[in-house]
Amino acid sequence: MVDVDSALRASAYSGKKRPKGGGGKEDKPSRKLEPFDPVAAYEKEKADAYSMWLVIILGLSVGLIMRYVLMPTLDGPETILWLIPVLLITTLPTIHKLVIPNKYSNLYDKGNWFRSGFLFFFTFIAISFILSNPPLADIAPPTLADGIDVADTEGIVESQWKGGTYTLELNQTEIDVILGLGIRDNVDAEGANMIVTVWKYGELEQSLANGTAIEQTQAQADFDAFNGTWLRGNKVAPHSQDIGMAFDLGTLSVNEYKIRIHLWEDGDPWDVNEWEREYTLKLVMSSTA
């Protein structure tokens, strides 16, 4: 029979035995968690909070200066509008050291600079978007809703719209062409100024419109009359706010025509918001004709 004292000694002896394969190596000391220092953690949280508010204020300030000081001096979008904020990211460590006391700024590491850079840039983007779009401003010019279209008519076999070129395959040498388009704008599509012209061989063939969109009453009425007959369906003016227009180009023969469209409006902060495109209308004979 084994008494209790013998059992305890045997257990203590076995606990001191080295594991198999351990050789003469000593056991590695166990890893321990570093003691939590609430004071240091509190100071780091305060430093991060100071950094966050400093970066937000910087982003808002730069956005306001760009919007109300720099942008009114430009004619339109320029590289400098995004280059300056990007370059300012590199100055964030220096600004932190100048503004924030040393006992906090010395706690910052690379992770802080990375987060500060992102926060600064996206704060700038957010305030710039708010200040440059309705209802505070409008930097987007009027445009066409979705290119041009042609009303379906006798003689058209196939049609293809691709990359600003409208190709119509015909089974006859000439057809009557009704051109459709839709004006779109953020604020006032009716007040958009427009010039629409047709060119052939580099020479002006027709002037379809020259004035504001709201003045093109006949073109708007014609668009409503041709509703449902457009070759591309309801794509040229899909939204109720789009101003659809239709222009009679008359009888056109097999050839290539250029449709030039210039739209503009009084802008803020820029004097003029303008948009211009040239579309190609190709009338070709079908191979099966």
Per-residue pLDDT tens digits for 29-43: 556 666 767 777 888
Q: Where are the beta strands (DSSP E) in the chain?
A: 143-150, 156-162, 165-170, 174-184, 193-200, 203-212, 243-253, 255-266, 272-285
28 confidence band (pLDDT: 50, 70, 90): low
Average pLDDT over residues 101-106: 90
Higher pLDDT, 8 or 203: 203
> Tell me, what's the pLDDT at 127?
96
Q: Which amino acid is at 193?
A: N
Per-residue pLDDT tens digits for 109-159: 999 999 999 999 999 999 999 999 888 888 899 999 999 999 999 999 999
* Backbone angles phi and psi of 267, in degrees to 5: -110, 170
Higher pLDDT, 28 or 215: 215
CA Rg, the chain, in Å?
A: 36
- The 3-state secondary structure of 244-270 reads EEEEEEEEEECEEEEEEEEEEEECECC
Task: Answer whether residue 10 shows pLDDT above 90.
Answer: no
Burial of residue 49 (CB within 10 Å: 0-12, 13-18, 19+) is exposed
What mean pLDDT value characterizes the chain?
A: 89
Strands 272-285 and 165-170: parallel
Per-residue pLDDT tens digits for 165-180: 999 999 999 999 999 9
Task: Answer whether residue 8 shows pLDDT above 90.
Answer: no
> Tell me, what's the pLDDT at 4?
46
Higher pLDDT, 266 or 126: 126
H or E element, residue 6 = helix 4-15
Task: Answer whether residue 214 shows pLDDT above 80.
Answer: yes
Domains of the chain, each with CATH number or no CATH: 38-132 (no CATH), 143-285 (2.60.40)
Per-residue pLDDT tens digits for 63-99: 999 999 999 998 888 899 999 999 999 999 999 999 9
Task: Answer whether residue 50 shows pLDDT above 50.
Answer: yes
Q: Of the ranges 7-21, 72-86, 103-117, 211-225, which one carries the lowest mean pLDDT score?
A: 7-21
Q: Would you give the distance in Å from CA 88 to the centre of its chain? A: 22
DSSP secondary structure, 102-153, as one string? HHHHTT--HHHHHHHHHHHHHHHHHHHHHHHSTTT-B-PPPEEEEEEEEB--
Share of the chain above pLDDT 70, in %: 87
Cα separation of 107 and 105, whole Å? 5
> Tell me, what's the pLDDT at 228?
81
Report whether 208 contacts 197 (CB < 8 A): yes
